[in-house]
């Protein structure tokens, strides 16, 4: 039997290690994702308050359909994309044209969201009939409505038969958060932000005899100590749990449209404003001045942001192409020609569209490097021959 020399064994070992390193490098292929905001541009795809959810290998999107402010809109639209860039219609979860006129939620279907919780999909939407106008104020029969379905684009069943509201006041921008212990929480806005624990089996709030129809107030826009940028109003809550804390995003229209964040050690608070607020957004005095004068907050002083947008806000958080947290919301490019006023100026050239950015966590804070409007490239290494990064939501 021939014995291999030490030199031969060394060469074999070297080749073996080289093959392993090559295989490891192949399993860590570099992937990239290129995007330019706003993602959608076509008027036919315009939505406000965009919410994106990844299911399997596809992304789904919903939001407030046009027209936003005046009269009824077509319902709750669901769009789908295989690459997060090109979108097409998947379904109308609620088609207003098929609802009876006396349907209590047949109105302005604002800020819908779809959440996947315990294998089911839950739609929250804020809608109702337009109420009478007293002076400058209009009292709408505007409530939270929650539906459930086994499939994201399937038939949804109403859970909240009578709707949910904060002490018979305009209730809007509902969102859901399911904690690790199986408990689920509902957040929304009225004059400020509110919260409640909810039983999704029945659609009922667990403490409906306490507080404001079961809701408790988190924060108001004019609470003592609040910064000026929140003064006019706050809305659009969205909650995630990351890095051992709970984070609530929200938006304000005081200086344009901007996104802030609060942190807590429990999903029911107490919530503390982050030190780096607002984390991103857009400010244009010329766009906001008429509303500010009309609603009495034109004394707030600020400088315009150096971006091409008039609004950036009302966000959600979703799993991006690299498997990590991304933020989505509506981006509204400033147009050149104002053709009408419908609560806000309307441009001939632009409408609210989907915008996305990576969400970062550094030095104990969440942040966004945006809003962007020039071409962006995000790269990452994918392991184990995954098409993406093989990341799961629990890793964060």
CATH number at residue 173: 2.115.10.20
List the Cα angle 89/90/92 in 5-degree steps.
Answer: 90
What's the confidence (pLDDT) of residue 385?
44
Residue 99 lies in a domain: yes
Q: Average pLDDT in the 2-10 region?
A: 56
Question: pLDDT tens, 304-363?
Answer: 999 999 999 999 999 999 999 999 999 999 999 999 988 899 999 999 999 999 999 999
d(CA 99, CA 280): 38
Residue 1 lies in a domain: no
What's the confidence (pLDDT) of residue 392?
32
Lowest-confidence range among 30-44, 85-99, 115-129, 155-169? 155-169
Query: Which is more confidently placed, 21 or 209?
Result: 209
Containing domain of residue 370, as a range?
34-395
Task: Choose among 122, 127, 116: nearest CA to 75.
Answer: 127
Lowest-confidence range among 10-19, 49-58, 73-82, 310-319? 10-19
Residue 368 banded pLDDT, cuts 50, 70, 90? very high
d(CA 316, CA 43): 22
| Burial tier of 244 (Cβ tally within 10 Å: 0-12, 13-18, 19+) | exposed
What's the confidence (pLDDT) of residue 22?
54
Residue 17 lies in a domain: no
Tell me the backbone φ, ψ of residue 243, rounded to 5 degrees.
55, 35
What's the confidence (pLDDT) of residue 249?
98
Question: pLDDT tens, 247-273?
Answer: 999 999 999 999 999 999 999 999 999
Residue 67: DSSP 8-state: P
Residue 7: DSSP 8-state: H
Residue 43 lies in a domain: yes
What's the confidence (pLDDT) of residue 129?
75
Task: Choose among 230, 220, 223, 120: nearest CA to 176.
Answer: 120
Question: pLDDT tens, 267-292?
Answer: 999 999 999 999 999 999 999 999 99
Instruction: Report whether 159 contacts 203 (CB < 8 A).
Output: yes
Query: Which is more confidently placed, 172 or 129?
Result: 172
| Tokens encoding 85 | 């860039």
pTM of the model: 0.89
Instruction: Report whether 288 contacts 252 (CB < 8 A).
Output: no
d(CA 196, CA 175): 11
Helix residue ranges per DSSP H, the chain: 6-27, 285-295
Residue 208 banded pLDDT, cuts 50, 70, 90? confident
Instruction: Report whether 193 contacts 234 (CB < 8 A).
Output: yes
The residue written with tokens 């966000």 in the block is 315
- The count of domains in the chain is 1
With H, G, I as helix, E, B as strand and everything else as coil, classify residue 4: coil
With H, G, I as helix, E, B as strand and everything else as coil, classify residue 205: strand
Residue 83 lies in a domain: yes
Residue 143 lies in a domain: yes
């Amino acid at each position: 039997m021939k014995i291999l020399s030490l030199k031969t064994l060394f060469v074999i070992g070297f080749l073996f290690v080289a093959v392993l390193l090559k295989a490891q490098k192949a399993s860590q292929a570099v992937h990239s994702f290129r995007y330019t905001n706003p993602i959608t541009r076509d008027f036919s795809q315009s939505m406000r308050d965009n919410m994106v959810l990844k299911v399997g290998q596809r992304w789904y999107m919903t939001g407030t359909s046009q027209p936003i402010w005046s009269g009824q809109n077509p319902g709750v639209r669901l769009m789908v994309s295989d690459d997060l860039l090109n979108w097409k219609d998947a379904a109308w979860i609620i088609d207003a044209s098929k609802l009876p006129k006396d349907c209590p939620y047949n109105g302005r279907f604002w800020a819908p969201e779809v959440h996947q919780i315990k294998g089911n999909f839950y739609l929250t939407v804020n809608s109702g009939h337009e109420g009478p106008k007293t002076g400058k104020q209009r009292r709408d029969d505007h409530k939270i409505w929650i539906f459930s379905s086994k499939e994201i684009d399937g038939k949804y069943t109403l859970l909240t038969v009578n709707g949910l509201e904060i002490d018979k006041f305009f209730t809007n921008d509902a969102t859901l958060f399911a904690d690790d212990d199986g408990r689920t929480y509902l957040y929304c806005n009225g004059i400020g932000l509110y919260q409640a624990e909810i039983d999704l089996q029945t659609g009922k709030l667990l403490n409906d005899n306490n507080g404001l129809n079961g809701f408790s107030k988190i924060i108001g826009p004019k609470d003592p100590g609040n910064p000026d940028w929140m003064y006019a109003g706050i809305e659009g809550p969205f909650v995630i749990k990351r890095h051992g804390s709970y984070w609530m995003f929200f938006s304000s229209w005081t200086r344009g449209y901007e996104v802030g964040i609060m942190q807590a050690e429990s999903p029911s608070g107490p919530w503390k404003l982050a030190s780096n607020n607002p984390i991103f957004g857009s400010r244009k005095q010329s766009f906001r001045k008429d509303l500010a004068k009309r609603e009495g907050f034109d004394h707030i002083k600020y400088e315009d942001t150096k971006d091409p947008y008039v609004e950036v806000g009302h966000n959600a958080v979703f799993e991006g192409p690299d498997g990590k947290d991304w933020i989505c919301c509506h981006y509204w490019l400033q147009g050149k020609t104002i053709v009408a006023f419908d609560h806000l100026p309307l441009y001939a050239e632009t409408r609210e569209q989907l915008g996305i950015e990576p969400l970062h966590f550094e030095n104990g804070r969440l942040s966004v490097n945006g809003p962007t409007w020039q071409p962006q490239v995000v790269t990452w290494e994918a392991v184990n021959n995954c098409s993406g990064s093989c990341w799961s939501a629990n890793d964060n």
